[in-house]
Homo-oligomer: A and B are copies of this chain.
C-alpha cells in the first residue's frame, strides 16, 4: 500500500493561464515527503532537521505533467518507495484528482548530514521503515 496524502489547489498555486504553475507542484511534493517522513517513517522534519541534523534533499527528479490542475481541485498524492541505497532512496510519486492523473514523478532523495553537507547512511530505523514500504509495493 503506497503512502497517500491530500492537498488542495490554492490561489497561490495558480498561474495566469488558470492552472497550477509547475514549481508549485514541487512545494506540494515536498510537503508530501514531509508527511511521509512523519507518518510512514516516524520521523517528522522538525526532529530530523533540528534534533538529528539530517536533511533529505532531492538529487534527481523525472516528471511528466500529464494533465493540468485548477483552482480548488482536491489532489491525492501517492508516494511509493521503490529502491533504497546506502544513503539514497527512490520514490515513485503520482498526483491525481477526479480519477485523472495530473503528474507522475520519480524522485531520488539523499540522506544528508546537515553539518558536513555530505551524504550519510540512513539511520537503521528509517532504513527499516523504507524497506517495509518497498516490500508492500511489490
Inter-chain contact B30/A23, CB cutoff 8 Å? yes
Pick from A11, A60, A70 the residue with the most CB of B within 10 Å.
A11
Which B residues are in CB contact (< 8 Å) with A44?
72
Counted per complex, copies of this chain come to 4
Please measure, in the bound complex, the distance between the C-alpha atom of A15 and the C-alpha atom of B45, giving whole angstroms.
Answer: 13
CA distance A65 to B59 in the complex (A): 5
Q: Is A50 an interface residue (CB 8 A)?
A: yes
The chain B residue sitting closest to A117, CB to CB, is: B68
Interface residues of A in 17-52 (CB under 8 A from B): 17-19, 21-24, 26-27, 30-31, 34, 44-46, 49-50
* 6 interchain residue pairs of minimum CB distance: A46-B72, A23-B26, A61-B63, A12-B27, A14-B16, A23-B23
